[in-house]
Amino acid sequence: MNIKRFFAVFKARNIEFFRDKSSLGWNLFFPVLLLVGFSFIFSGDGRPAYKVGWVEESKSSQSKAQHNSFKDTRFISFIHYKDIDVAKVKLSHHTIDLVIANQSKRYWVNDESAKSYLVEKIFSEKLKSYTRLQIRGGEIRYIDWVLPGILGMNMMFSCLFGVGYVIVRYRKNAVLKRLKATPLTAFEFVSAQLLSRLFIVMFTSIIVYSGCNLLFDFFMLGRYFDLFIIGMLGAFCLISLGLLVASRSKSEELIGGLLNVTSWPMMMLSGVWFSLEGAPPALKVFADFLPLTHLVAGAREVIIEGATLVDISYHVNCLLLMSAVFLSLGAYFFSWNAER
Amino acid sequence: MSVAICVQNLTKQYKDVTAVDNISFTVEQGHCFGLLGPNGAGKTTTIEIMEGIISQTAGQVIYKGKEFQGKKVDGNISQLIGIQFQHTALQDFLTVKETLILFSSFYRHTLAQEQVIELCDLSDFLNRDNRLLSGGQRQRLLLALALINDPDIIFLDEPTTGLDPHARRNFWQLIKNIKAQNKTIILTTHYMDEAEQLCDDIVIMNQGKIIESGIPHQLLNKYFSDVFIYLPAEQVPSILVEKNQWQKLAGRIEITTRDVEKTLTLLMNSKVSLSGLYVKSANLDDLFLHLTGHSLIGSK
């Protein structure tokens, strides 16, 4: 690794990005427009159904029967939690509307939530034998909830297209071929591209977050440092994925299709717009293999629940593992030109 | 003169196509060596194997007595050679100066930037965005990038394709200036006048094979001792044309002769007006036509 060569490519790529006004503008204004739009569209609750947290303390047949008796009520979804504290945090943020701990015959309502009040009324007969407990907590606005998703999605597009598309364009018009004819190594080139995009993505995301924070005064329970780290790990993982997707292709049409195939499932299934709680288990398993899921979930836990990096170590480890896999495969398959 | 590059039995096979078919040649140090031939002859494939951009199927390339394996000859071959590709885009949004700085950072040893700028005449558009360069300016920048590491050997793959005649002639002068510094230049072109102007030695390729090689004027002397004289057909009496077995071609008479002076005397004695007379000696395109049966220019 020659630092001088690496830094020259890093700098050149940054200059190219910042002088491309249309691309820079898009990266800065697109997420702002989305946030403004969603702040108007979802100024209310934004969730169509009532959600009840069901804390399963035992798996007895009696417990199952009781659960079924609750489940008979239509238009209410039941979300299973193993940890009662997690469910209570969700209730305090109005993410769910009631928590029922079946074994200990207790239930919690949020006194500040209209939905919680209504669900309690709906189940008043069935909850007669349960002890009523209260939780207080203001509602997390939809915009606070959706913020990590929109920032994550913007990062995803910037990482995938900003790296994948650019490398394929370089390969197609023989910029890579010209660089191959110099002493620059593939590792130096790829790592410069990776770190340049990481710098660009973090820079634009911080600008967007700070600017929007002035407008919306975002909720923030955790530490900004933790948010920065999970953001950086997510961006690194998505850039690695972009490098892998672009490792061999020479066709801009093909790479456009591949990047869309890669990004659309993440946009729809990574919890950008709506919570995956209550989604079918198979879908949750699939979403677990998507880097954006861990970026968004980790950032959301830091922002809304005040989680630390240790608390979100599952997401951190998943992102690190995925980055290692994507980078290894990308390096193995990388080709300067069509011939390998 | 010492040998700069020796190519031995080089072959490149792409599935069913043999792009380069068992060719051998040597390039002398300080010479401008021309690889000539129509598009698809195998020139670019040959030059890219020599540059280490693509690998050969068989054969070897020897640089100053050392065999070239992959990118390695005493370290990295790319430190030692300069390359101007036939088709290359430059990074968008960088200026000419920034592009020079970028490329100079790749090499251990580089020429002073001022020297490259002066040599390739870049000073008028140093701060211009790469996207806004004219064809000639762009080629000069690409040549500068090929020279930035002060290489001993410079590969120029069809460097004047697409340039107007004025820009081409300017570019030729740049190449002559570089050659004057005892650099070895390997040039591919399908412009025969370019090869005649610049090359000390040539190899003519067709369909992956070398069909002739040597010093341009010696090759022309070997195949063509005749000179062509052309006159408007209406100025030459038919009886004179038939008697001397001259050719009538598209409104003009073609006279093939070894003795120009004797032929001109004959025309003047026959009271033929010499107005519109045109004398032409054979060139490399005629040689290619002679060797292959088709014109180099027509086969592009």
Q: What is the DSSP string of A87-134?
A: HHHHHHTTSSSEEEETTTTEEEEETT-HHHHHHHHHTTTTTTTSEEEE
| Sheet (strand A98-101) strand order | A76-81, A50-55, A98-101, A106-110, A131-135
Binned at pLDDT 50, 70 and 90, residue A281 comes out as confident
In this structure, are residues B121 and B140 in contact, taking their beta carbons and an 8 Å threshold?
yes
Q: Do A181 and B78 touch (CB under 8 A)?
A: yes
Separation CA A46–CA B206 (nearest Å) = 71
In angstroms, what separates the C-alpha of A32 from chain B's closest C-alpha?
A: 26
Phi-psi region of B178 (alpha: psi -120 to 50; beta: other; left: phi over 0): alpha
| pLDDT score for B159 | 85
| pLDDT score for A340 | 40
Q: Is residue A340 part of a domain?
A: no
Q: Tell me the average pLDDT of chain A.
A: 84
In angstroms, what separates the C-alpha of A21 from chain B's closest C-alpha?
A: 10
Nearest to A181 among B83, B102, B108 (CB): B83
Separation CA A151–CA A153 (nearest Å) = 5
Q: Please check whether residues A64 and A165 belong to one and the same domain.
A: no
pLDDT per position as a tens digit, A241-260: 999 988 887 777 788 888 88
| pLDDT score for B38 | 82
Tell me if residue B122 falls in helix, strand or coil.
coil
Arithmetic mean of pLDDT, A188-216: 90
Separation CA A94–CA A103 (nearest Å) = 23
Q: Please check whether residues A224 and A269 belong to one and the same domain.
A: yes
Nearest to A12 among B52, B102, B145 (CB): B102
Unique residue bearing structure tokens 């300069």: B82
Q: Do B102 and A8 touch (CB under 8 A)?
A: yes
| pLDDT score for A224 | 94
Q: Please check whether residues A77 and A215 belong to one and the same domain.
A: no
| pLDDT score for A48 | 47
Q: Which residues lie closer than 8 Å to B31 by C-beta, 6 or more apart?
A: B1, B4, B184, B185, B200, B201
Q: Which of A115, A135, A155 is a domain's end point? A: A135
Q: Do B89 and A173 touch (CB under 8 A)?
A: yes
Residue of A165, A178, A187, A337 to mutate when probing chain B, most B C-beta within 10 A: A178
Q: Please check whether residues A127 and A155 belong to one and the same domain.
A: no
Separation CA A87–CA B31 (nearest Å) = 81
Q: Please check whether residues A126 and A210 belong to one and the same domain.
A: no
Cβ atoms within 10 Å, residue A220: 16
Q: Which of A11-20, A71-80, A177-186 has the highest mean pLDDT?
A: A177-186
Q: Which of A105, A135, A165 is a domain's end point? A: A135
Nearest to A15 among B52, B94, B108 (CB): B94
Q: Which of A72, A101, A135 is a domain's end point? A: A135
Domains, chain B, with CATH or none: 3-216 (3.40.50.300), 225-281 (no CATH)
Question: Which residues of chain B are within 8 Å of residue A339 when distances are taken between CB atoms?
Answer: 54-55
Q: Which residues lie closer than 8 Å to A289 by C-beta, 6 or more apart?
A: none
In angstroms, what separates the C-alpha of B51 from chain A's closest C-alpha?
A: 7
Q: Is residue A34 part of a domain?
A: yes
- CA A338-B4-B9 angle, to 5 degrees, is 55
Q: What percent of chain A has pLDDT over 70?
A: 91
Q: Please check whether residues A126 and A219 belong to one and the same domain.
A: no
Q: Is the pLDDT of residue A317 over 90?
A: yes
Taking CB atoms and an 8 Å cut-off, how many pairs form between chains A and B? 65
Residue of A17, A177, A188 to mutate when probing chain B, most B C-beta within 10 A: A177
Unique residue bearing structure tokens 């740049």: B174
Q: Which residues lie closer than 8 Å to A327 by C-beta, 6 or more apart?
A: A240, A243, A244
Nearest to B105 among A4, A19, A337 (CB): A4
Unique residue bearing structure tokens 């020897």: B62
Q: Is the pLDDT of residue A51 over 90?
A: no
Q: Please check whether residues A120 and A253 belong to one and the same domain.
A: no
Q: Please check whether residues A18 and A32 belong to one and the same domain.
A: yes
Q: Do B94 and A7 touch (CB under 8 A)?
A: no
Question: Which residues of chain B are within 8 Å of residue A183 when distances are taken between CB atoms?
Answer: 76, 78-79, 106-108
Q: Do A16 and B93 touch (CB under 8 A)?
A: yes
Pick the range with the lowest mean pLDDT from A33-42, A105-114, B20-29, B276-285: A33-42
Q: Do B88 and A177 touch (CB under 8 A)?
A: yes
Q: Do A183 and B51 touch (CB under 8 A)?
A: no
In this structure, are residues B19 and B42 in contact, taking their beta carbons and an 8 Å threshold?
yes
Tell me if residue A220 falls in helix, strand or coil.
coil
Top-confidence residue, A24 or A206: A206
Top-confidence residue, A154 or B292: A154
Question: Which residues of chain A are within 8 Å of residue B78 when distances are taken between CB atoms?
Answer: 181-183
In this structure, are residues B282 and B223 in contact, taking their beta carbons and an 8 Å threshold?
yes
Q: Smallest Cα–Cα separation from A278: which of A96, A135, A9, A101? A: A96
- CA B126-B132-B136 angle, to 5 degrees, is 75
Q: Do B105 and A7 touch (CB under 8 A)?
A: yes
Question: Which residues of chain B are within 8 Å of residue A9 when distances are taken between CB atoms?
Answer: 102
Domain count, chain A: 2
Q: Please check whether residues A247 and A129 belong to one and the same domain.
A: no
| pLDDT score for A46 | 45
Q: Would you give per-residue pLDDT tens digits along chain B (300 residues)?
A: 688 899 999 999 998 889 999 999 999 988 999 998 888 889 889 998 988 888 889 999 988 777 766 555 555 677 888 998 877 878 888 999 999 999 999 888 888 888 889 888 888 899 999 889 888 888 889 989 988 988 989 999 888 887 778 878 888 888 888 888 888 999 998 888 888 889 999 999 988 999 989 998 888 888 887 888 899 988 888 888 888 888 888 788 988 888 888 888 888 888 888 888 888 888 888 888 888 776 655 544
Q: Is residue A338 part of a domain?
A: no
Q: Do B92 and A16 touch (CB under 8 A)?
A: yes
What CATH code is carried by the domain that includes residue A76?
Answer: 3.40.190
Residue of A182, A188, A335 to mutate when probing chain B, most B C-beta within 10 A: A182
Residue of A nearest to B84 (CA): A178
Q: Is the pLDDT of residue A276 over 60?
A: yes
Question: Which residues of chain A are within 8 Å of residue B54 when distances are taken between CB atoms?
Answer: 339
In angstroms, what separates the C-alpha of A181 from chain B's closest C-alpha?
A: 6
Q: Please check whether residues A125 and A267 belong to one and the same domain.
A: no
Q: Is residue A72 part of a domain?
A: yes
Q: Please check whether residues A84 and A222 belong to one and the same domain.
A: no
Q: Please check whether residues A167 and A227 belong to one and the same domain.
A: yes
Domain that holds residue A73: 50-135
Binned at pLDDT 50, 70 and 90, residue A339 comes out as very low
